[in-house]
Structure 1
Amino acid sequence: MTLPVVEIKMGEGAELSHYRYQDNSEKSFHFATTRVLQEANSNYRSTSFSVGSDIGRNDVFTHLVGEYAESTLHGVYLTTNRQHQDNEISTTHAAPHCTSDQYYKGVLSGRSRAVFSGKITVERGAQKTDANQKDLNLLLSHGAEVDTKPSLEIYADDVKCAHGATAGHVDEDTLFYLQSRGVDYHTAQAMLIRGFAAEILSEFEDNELHAFLENQLDELMPALQAASDTIGTA
């Protein structure tokens, strides 16, 4: 079992890109917590890639207490067999003119399960808030499940906030199109999975790290495909 806790206090004008990678043993439990306090004009960008652990939980809490602070919380998680991944993502706007974005993507196969519980709170006085929240999930098998619960709690009246969530299978028409162009089934399936995850992976700006994570996705692909039963026919 691993229980990492990270606490960050960002002073006025501070900037931080925080990359997180989790690939623990499938027999392990991983419960991570990150808390961030942001002063005026600070910019916190978190990008995560999670593929390991039997049970994994990722809690991220950002508290924007200074004007014009920005919080970006993005991540991609991939699960197979009977893995369970839980993401508890929370942003509190306590000052005006702040911006936040929560954006997570999940790829689930086998009988795995994921939970996305996202919350954005806009306190009284936090006018001119601009907040967005989205969770998108790709289910590769009938046994995979995702519970997605995006929520907004708004106590100010001059804000721009939006949230949404989707869970579905790979589009069979797109898969058929690729096959009709001579791409074999497994290659076409892998292309669509990579394309779904690529948007988040591209945010790992370090070239060496980005290449490493793409390789990790490729290594996991056979396990994801072996437990897939919902898209197209081989």
Structure 2
Amino acid sequence: MTVLSVNVNKIAVLRNSRGGDMPSVLAAAQTCLAAGCGGITVHPRPDQRHIRPQDVLDLAQLLAGSPAELNIEGNPFAPPRDAYPGLLALCAAAKPAQATLVPDSDGQITSDHGFDLRRDAERLRPLIAELHEVGCRVSLFMDADSPDIELAAEIGADRIELYTGPYAEAFERGDAARQLALCAQAARRAQAVGLSVNAGHDLNQANLGAFLVQVPAVAEVSIGHALIGEALYAGLAATVAAYTAICAGEGR
């Protein structure tokens, strides 16, 4: 069964827009876990516009001893600044089950492309080793049409996360066949060299089932923006339960 990891960044966006502690990132994570998700994802950025370092540490404490996993996403090349200690330092402090490395710049609204490993492989190799030393599984954010997927295994990554934005856009247009084929091919290439496959970005209740049918053995999907948006109408627990049902294959 594919694990659902709920990205709670948007809860932090709402909290930060007003100041104070409402809504609570921790309470939202607890609700998601109680509703059956298998993990919590956060993507702290250096500008701290949503998830902050203290949120990461609080979530790590919440998940300690739980079968649910903490997944921390971020750019490993972004240097520390102000109260942001850098991704590797944050992972060393929080010890998440998984670190997902993403090549986003400071100014990006959201992640919108995967790594170019022909350019970045040798910079990533020692960072992956450092994350392994603190006990993190490492996943690399990759485009489905990347020629470099096999390189992820060569430099020590455990998984890739397929960037599913192009698939979601094609699905919305009613023409997802090509993108689904690319994702399925990328998953098979990764699995052939021993990598597990995660997926994320713009997945929602409408497009997730078709994706999981066509793309083999997806280990985990990380979903935040659509899930939190849908939860405004249906409620957080009910929305998480609906996603976990899709991940379990119900109704496909």
Considering the TM-score relative to the shorter chain, is it more than 0.5? no
TM-score, with normalisation over the residues of structure 1?
A: 0.30
Identify which of structures 1 and 2 has the higher relative contact order when contacts are C-alpha pairs closer than 8 Å and 6+ apart: 2
Higher helix share: 2
Larger C-alpha radius of gyration, 1 or 2?
Answer: 1
Higher strand share: 1
TM-score, with normalisation over the residues of structure 2?
A: 0.28
